[in-house]
Structure 1
Amino acid sequence: MEIQLLHEFVLLSKTLNFSKAAQKMNITQPVLSRHMKYLEEYFEVSFFKRDTHKVELTSAGKLFSEEASKILFQYETSVSAIQSFTGKSRRRLSITFLGEAIQKVLITFLTQFRAKHSDIAIECRDSELDEALALLDNHTSDMGFLIRPSFMVNESKFCTLPFQTDPLCAVVNKCHPLAGRGSVSLREVGEWPIMRVDPREFTLSDEYSTRFLTIHNINFTLDREYPNLKTCCFNLEFTDRAVLLMPRHRGYLAGQNCVMLDIAEEDCWFNLELVWDNKNTNPTVAIFLKEFKNFLKQ
């Protein structure tokens, strides 16, 4: 059995979205489906429950995901140990990051890092949060530059280094009654229908938008749910009653008919953070961490 099949299964078990997982792995959905069918036939058991709305893991699928993650971890550990023994350590570092919020600081830092450590090959991969955590978990990626809501609890298996924040903002059409305000409270936002990304397309849609309302005990009604944030912003151009909540760094998606408003509450923000697994045996992780901490002091 090819090790790549285990990588594909673990990633799919985290995203539970065949099209998204296939896109992230640069393969087609039919190929991914065929690979998963092969695994199910190999073990003579069903790993997934599928219907028109969602994909779920069976009990066997959950067990296989756990065991496959262990196998991948042991594989990476063994390869690293053998290469270190033979003096052929890879000197490679794989980074997963979450889009626009991270790009500027990451590019600035990597420019300096590569100039100082030209012998370390850096591989970067743009990911969604659920995929990034899966990549870090199975050590396909060594380091993760993530952006997560301030209230989201860190998984104990990962080490975290917060280095920047990005505030939550409200976006409305210029004809919306709130449009003339410099800032609005979450309670004022909750008085209007909320537009957001469909959780079936992005499983953490609630955490990145409406959960801020829930945490403050604010009831709200949903307006519409769309496949992605870009589509939300496009439809907001023609909707003068709804409100969209999103991080400030995504404000470039808002069109000319919309305005971005600050949120008055001081506890509504996203953490930009460096995340890694302390059990990762790649020797370049320690080098990277030391250099990044020095970079933050500049």
Structure 2
Amino acid sequence: MDIYSLRYFVAVAEDLNFGRAAARLHITQPALSRHIHRLEETLNVQLLHRTKRTVELTEAGAALLVEARKILEQVESAIRVVQQIAQGERGSLRIAFTPSSMHTVLPEILKHFCDRYPNVKLAMSELCTRDQVKALQAETIDVGLLHPPISDPFLKLHPLPGERLVVALPHTHVLAPQPEVPLKSLSNEPFILHPRQEGPTLYDKILSLCRDAGFEPHIIHGDVKHQARVGLVAAGMGITFVPESLQHASLTGVSYCRLRDESPELQLAVAWRQTQESPVLQQFLQVVEETTGGNPLSTTRERNQNPTADEELTA
């Protein structure tokens, strides 16, 4: 007994007419009769009472109709699931992100993706860029929104819109009311920066801008995460730099000012393994491209090999 035999039987049982059932199945009536006869022989049960004028289900045939419909529904469901997985419409995706991405492009990307692919289960992790690269290499995440440059050859990167950094000051600071300040005016302030190993390009860029402004920054607390750094600013212990988007995640006691001079810029990119072949990932990348209006995601390695963007502000 196979799926075709069950489909043929259900058609005859529903129509109670071999001619109409054969036409619906696009086979000849004699061929359909042979399939039903073979099914009855296989089961050693009479499924239909046949006369020249009528076809009726036997008690066994009525019972088989109920079970056959269930089986065929399960088969159709399995086919749909398999096809959805193959097309990236069902499955799972593990996404890592930095704090700034959650305040810029990621929410819109996630909304569009979830609306379009409700049967894809998302697992979200907040990780700094360094930890995202490690997780991608260990294959514990599938895709990351992180801050380039990244030189790891096993990754593909696609740039997303970046943003400038602004200065976070204690709200009691004399410069806090100003919409923008020259970097040189911060020369006597304690700087609260991210650990250099978690974002050396951005770290070095900040130091370079300070030196260009004529001073060497006094760095304190260089090993704390973003939210803790802003908290230290609120406590009046120094100043720090945050992406423009994060100034809207208001924290009592903190004011934000733009730099009048050249501002460090925080670039953002989506990253995934070059060898990864996942239909769900491809659908996610397609939504990223549509949402951000960027270049096609197939042209990415040039960005890896010629990094010009500043690296991450640690999560």
- Which TM-score applies when normalising by structure 1? 0.57
SS in structure 2 at match of 1:120 = strand
8 Å contact 2:167–2:258 — kept in the other structure? yes
State the distance in 2 between where 1:111 and 1:255 align: 26
The residue type paired with residue 124 of structure 1 is: M
Q: Alpha carbons of 1:181 and 1:159: their partners in 2 closer, same or farther (altered >3 Å)? A: same
Trace 1:26-105 onto structure 2 (pairs within 5 A).
Answer: 91-99=91-99, 101-102=101-102, 105=105
Aligned to 1:183: 180
Structure 2 unaligned runs (5+)? 1-81, 295-315
Of 261-270 and 129-138, more deviation after overlay is shown by: 261-270
Aligned to 1:48: none
Trace 1:129-278 onto structure 2 (pairs within 5 A).
Answer: 129-146=129-146, 148=147, 152-197=149-194, 199=195, 203-204=197-198, 210-216=203-209, 218=211, 219-225=216-222, 227-239=224-236, 242-252=238-248, 255-278=251-274
8 Å contact 1:186–1:213 — kept in the other structure? no
Number of residue pairs the alignment of both structures matches: 205
The structural deviation recorded for 1:255 is: 4.0
The structural deviation recorded for 1:160 is: 1.6
Aligned to 1:112: 112
8 Å contact 2:128–2:198 — kept in the other structure? no
State the distance in 1 between where 2:171 and 2:287 align: 45
The structural deviation recorded for 1:165 is: 1.7
User: Where do 4+ consecutive residues of structure 1 move more than 6 Å?
Assistant: 86-90
State the distance in 2 between where 1:168 and 1:141 align: 28
Q: Alpha carbons of 1:207 and 1:239: their partners in 2 closer, same or farther (altered >3 Å)? A: farther
State the distance in 2 between where 1:128 and 1:115 align: 27
State the distance in 2 between where 1:253 and 1:288 align: 27
SS in structure 2 at match of 1:230 = helix
> How big is each residue's C-alpha offset from its partner over 1:19-74, in whole Å with a ceiling of 9 and x where there is no partner?
xxxxxxxxxxxxxxxxxxxxxxxxxxxxxxxxxxxxxxxxxxxxxxxxxxxxxxxx
8 Å contact 1:96–1:127 — kept in the other structure? yes
Q: Alpha carbons of 1:257 and 1:285: their partners in 2 closer, same or farther (altered >3 Å)? A: closer
The structural deviation recorded for 1:224 is: 4.2
8 Å contact 2:206–2:264 — kept in the other structure? no
> How big is each residue's C-alpha offset from its partner over 1:163-198, in whole Å with a ceiling of 9 and x where there is no partner?
22221111222343432432123333334221235x
> How big is each residue's C-alpha offset from its partner over 1:214-261, in whole Å with a ceiling of 9 and x where there is no partner?
233612112445643333333333437x32222223325664433111
Q: Alpha carbons of 1:272 and 1:279: their partners in 2 closer, same or farther (altered >3 Å)? A: same
8 Å contact 2:112–2:287 — kept in the other structure? no
Aligned to 1:290: 286
Q: CA RMSD in A?
A: 3.3
Larger radius of gyration: 2
8 Å contact 1:100–1:249 — kept in the other structure? yes
The structural deviation recorded for 1:204 is: 1.8
8 Å contact 2:166–2:263 — kept in the other structure? no
- Which TM-score applies when normalising by structure 2? 0.54
SS in structure 1 at match of 2:198 = coil
Structure 1 unaligned runs (5+)? 1-85
State the distance in 1 between where 2:119 and 2:278 align: 14
SS in structure 2 at match of 1:239 = coil
8 Å contact 1:233–1:253 — kept in the other structure? no
SS in structure 2 at match of 1:211 = helix
8 Å contact 2:142–2:281 — kept in the other structure? yes
Q: Alpha carbons of 1:252 and 1:207: their partners in 2 closer, same or farther (altered >3 Å)? A: farther
State the distance in 1 between where 2:100 and 2:232 align: 21
8 Å contact 1:233–1:254 — kept in the other structure? no
Aligned to 2:7: none
